[in-house]
């Protein structure tokens, strides 16, 4: 099959090219994200491969149908960016990568926690300028802290195992409680209790209409003063303006985010020579207790390998008429 691959970076090409020789597929790599201006690049292909910031609405679906596209292979787990109903109506199947090294994201979440707790990012910059003063670098222990985990899917469970190793008390909220986590010592509680009893809160739930702006002024009010809030899941779980207010009044003591609700036109780009137009993220980056990374939690060699293998497997299964085990259908 001929696949048009959108929003590709060098690491995507290298990873897919490594395994393409094992298949009969051919990839056309496009740096551009998929939108109404670039959808024409899909013409002449059998399928497309997209990433989390490629928004595939009904208009895009109609164009893809016109070009004869029968499969959209998502190289990500999230699919809220796809109009599933429109795709089904046009006979276009959607397949995703449901899990790829959950440890990669969980470890990055803990990297944010440790960096904020011990201020290693500040120490790194100081030492590079030959400043070896320890003033202002006093940190806090992670050991003995209560960690609240919102969502105990594959990534949330990997995060809990890491937190357990640090000697933390772990509280969790999930619609579906996990027996393995209970055996690990994780205690499931209602959402508000998790928020009120935790020193650190890490978000690991999907973005749905129910979880949109899960962290807002109301939920923040339940948190302890000085809470550390970590988000490596989806940006829109957090209402940014409410978090900024909570940082200003010191309700939130530390914020570590790898995702941002308006990241679509910012992340995965080099904007170092431009003036940042997004006032909210600019404001966030003025706080000394905020750490922002650009959606890199997934970016490990192991995760990229799993993404490539699963995506190519989805394409092959579709081509051969096999059961598409990773297919996403409208509910």
- Number of domains the chain contains: 2
The pLDDT of residue 124:
97
Q: What is the pLDDT of residues 290-328, one digit of tens each?
A: 999 999 999 999 999 999 999 999 999 999 999 999 999
Q: For residue 198, give every residue at least 6 positions away whose Cβ sits within 8 Å of its Cβ, in sequence order, or none.
A: 146, 147, 148, 171, 223, 224, 227
Residue 149: DSSP 8-state: E
Q: What is the pLDDT of residues 2-59, one digit of tens each?
A: 999 999 999 999 999 999 989 999 999 999 999 999 999 999 999 999 998 899 999 9
Q: Are residues 277 and 136 part of one domain?
A: yes
Q: Are residues 321 and 223 part of one domain?
A: no
The pLDDT of residue 53:
86
Residue 51: DSSP 8-state: -
89: three-class secondary structure by DSSP: helix
Q: Are strands 93-95 and 327-328 parallel, antiparallel or unpaired?
A: antiparallel
In a 13 Å sphere around the CA of 214, the CA atoms on its Cβ side amount to: 25
Q: Are strands 146-150 and 169-173 parallel, antiparallel or unpaired?
A: parallel
| CATH number, position 306 | 3.40.50.720
Kindly report the backbone phi and psi dihedral angles of residue 149, in degrees, each rounded to the nearest multiple of 5, phi listed first. -115, 120
| Average model confidence (pLDDT) across the chain | 96
- pLDDT-derived band at 247 (thresholds 50, 70, 90) equals very high
Q: Are residues 107 and 38 part of one domain?
A: no
Q: Are residues 168 and 79 part of one domain?
A: no
- pLDDT-derived band at 78 (thresholds 50, 70, 90) equals confident
Domain that holds residue 272: 102-292
Strand partners, 328: 94
Q: Are residues 65 and 47 part of one domain?
A: yes
pTM of structure: 0.91
Instruction: Read off the pLDDT of each residue in 89-104 and give the average, rounded to a whole number.
Output: 94
Q: Are residues 183 and 74 part of one domain?
A: no
Q: Are residues 272 and 204 part of one domain?
A: yes
Show which residues are catalytic.
Answer: 234, 263, 295
Instruction: Read off the pLDDT of each residue in 143-165 and give the average, rounded to a whole number.
Output: 97
Q: Are 172 and 149 in contact (CB under 8 A)?
A: yes
Kindly report the backbone phi and psi dihedral angles of residue 253, in degrees, each rounded to the nearest multiple of 5, phi listed first. -85, -30
- pLDDT-derived band at 77 (thresholds 50, 70, 90) equals confident
Q: Are residues 260 and 186 part of one domain?
A: yes
Q: Are residues 320 and 268 part of one domain?
A: no
Instruction: Read off the pLDDT of each residue in 234-253 and give the average, rounded to a whole number.
Output: 97
- pLDDT-derived band at 109 (thresholds 50, 70, 90) equals very high
Length of the chain: 331
Q: Are residues 220 and 322 part of one domain?
A: no
Task: Estimate the crossing angle of helix 120-128 against helix 102-118, to 10 degrees.
Answer: 70
Q: Are residues 169 and 73 part of one domain?
A: no
The pLDDT of residue 317:
97
Q: What span, in angstroms and rounded, lies between the C-alpha atoms of 314 and 232? A: 26
What kind and span of H or E run contains 50? strand 47-50
Q: Are residues 111 and 93 part of one domain?
A: no
Kindly report the backbone phi and psi dihedral angles of residue 130, in degrees, each rounded to the nearest multiple of 5, phi listed first. 65, 30
3-state SS, one letter per residue, for 252-282:
EEEEEECCCCCHHHCCCCCCCCCCCCCHHHH
Q: What span, in angstroms and rounded, lies between the C-alpha atoms of 248 and 253? A: 9
Residue 229: DSSP 8-state: E
């Amino acid at each position: 099959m001929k696949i048009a691959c959108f929003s590709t970076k060098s690491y995507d090409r290298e990873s897919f090219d490594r395994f393409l020789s094992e298949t009969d597929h051919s990839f056309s790599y496009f740096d551009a994200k998929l939108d109404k201006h670039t959808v024409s690049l899909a013409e002449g292909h059998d399928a497309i491969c997209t990433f989390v910031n490629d928004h595939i609405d009904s208009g895009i679906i109609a164009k893809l149908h016109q070009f004869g596209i029968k499969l959209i292979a998502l190289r990500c787990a999230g699919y809220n960016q796809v109009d599933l109903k429109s795709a089904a109506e046009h006979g276009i199947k959607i397949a995703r990568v449901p899990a790829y090294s959950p440890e990669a994201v969980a470890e990055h979440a803990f990297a944010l926690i440790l960096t904020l707790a011990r201020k290693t990012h500040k120490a790194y910059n100081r030492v590079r300028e030959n400043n070896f003063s320890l003033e202002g670098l006093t940190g806090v222990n992670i050991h003995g802290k209560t960690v609240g985990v919102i969502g105990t899917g594959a990534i949330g469970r990997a995060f809990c195992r890491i937190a357990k190793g640090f000697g933390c008390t772990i509280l969790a909220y999930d619609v579906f409680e996990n027996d393995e986590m209970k055996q690990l010592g994780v205690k499931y509680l209602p959402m508000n209790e998790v928020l009120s009893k935790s020193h650190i809160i890490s978000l690991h739930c999907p973005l749905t209409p129910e979880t949109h702006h899960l962290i807002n002024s109301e939920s923040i009010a339940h948190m302890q003063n000085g809470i550390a809030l970590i988000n490596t899941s989806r940006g829109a779980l957090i209402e940014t303006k409410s978090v900024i207010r909570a940082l200003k009044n010191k309700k939130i003591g530390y914020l570590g985010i790898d995702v941002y609700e308006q990241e679509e036109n910012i992340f995965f780009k080099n904007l170092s020579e431009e003036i940042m137009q997004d006032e909210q993220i600019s404001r966030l980056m003025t706080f000394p207790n905020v750490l922002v990374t650009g959606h890199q939690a997934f970016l490990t060699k192991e995760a990229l390998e799993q993404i490539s293998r699963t995506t190519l497997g989805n394409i092959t299964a579709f081509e051969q008429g096999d059961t598409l085990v990773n297919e996403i259908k409208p509910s």
